[in-house]
Structure 1
Amino acid sequence: MDDIQEHELHQIDHPLYEILRSEDIKAFNAEKAKLSELPSFAHGDFRGLDLRGLDAKGLDLRHAYFRGADLRGIDFSKSRMEGASIASAKISGCYFPHRLEADEIVMSLNHGTRMRYALLPK
């Protein structure tokens, strides 16, 4: 059995995660651009962080916790966000992955539910 349950948060042992947790978005984006392979931020704890300006392209944010975070203007369209929670986050101007339906986003924002991806036709 996996040590990490789907609903649990955990610390991620990677310098890029530490930069992000310190809210130094400019440094995060610069360091991210240097990497050929990105670490997973799945199950990450981003509660209350100001992440405006984040380059989220290619980030694995599955099951991450964004309660009260400032996500305004972030383009998440090329990120993995299934199972993430955005309760009480600021999301004005966010561009979410196309597989996340508006109802899922609103439920997560208002009630803290985990966002589920829609099944798309083949």
Structure 2
Amino acid sequence: MTEPQIKSDLLYLLLRNGEVEEFNCRVANGESCDLTYCDFLKADLRGLKAEGLDFSGSYFRQADLRSVDFSASRLEGASIHGAHIAGVYFPSELKPEEISLSLRYGTRMRYLKAD
């Protein structure tokens, strides 16, 4: 399994440093970056416009995710151990049990497979 990384990508670094508004503006203007397997340890991501972003395998330990709408984002394999998640809207593919296990024990969230 790939470990979370601190990447050199400018957009990722904006998020990691809490510059969410600048990140949102740049993405709205067409810039893109690879946010898979990123380390967001203790990052303040409040206000993030996460629609269409892929955070697969990322690490959000103790991050502030309050009120972020991840419903149209990819979070498979991500971990949210100890994160602040009040008001977070998670993708419907994630079972509440997966979210709870990840929040409490740091497990990686698995998506619900269609029957």
Shared fold, TM over 0.5: yes
- Report the counterpart of residue 53 of structure 2 in structure 1: 59
Secondary structure of the residue aligned to 1:28 is helix
CA contact (8 A) 1:99 1:120 kept: no
AA at the equivalent of 1:28: F
- Report the counterpart of residue 98 of structure 1 in structure 2: 92
- Report the counterpart of residue 32 of structure 1 in structure 2: 27
TM-score when scaled to structure 2? Answer: 0.95
- Report the counterpart of residue 108 of structure 2 in structure 1: 114
CA offset at residue 9 of structure 1?
1.4
What are the superposed Cα offsets for residues 37-74 of structure 1, whole Å, 9 maximum, x if unpaired? x3221110001011100011111100100000000000
- How many corresponding residue pairs? 115
CA offset at residue 11 of structure 1?
2.5
CA distance in 1, matches of 2:99, 2:67: 15
Mark the runs of 5 or more structure 2 residues left unpaired by the alignment: none
| Percent of aligned pairs with the same amino acid | 46
Q: Rg: which structure is higher?
A: 1
CA distance in 2, matches of 1:39, 1:45: 14
CA distance in 2, matches of 1:67, 1:111: 10
CA distance in 2, matches of 1:44, 1:95: 20
Q: Does 1:46 align with 2:40?
A: yes
Mark the runs of 5 or more structure 1 residues left unpaired by the alignment: none
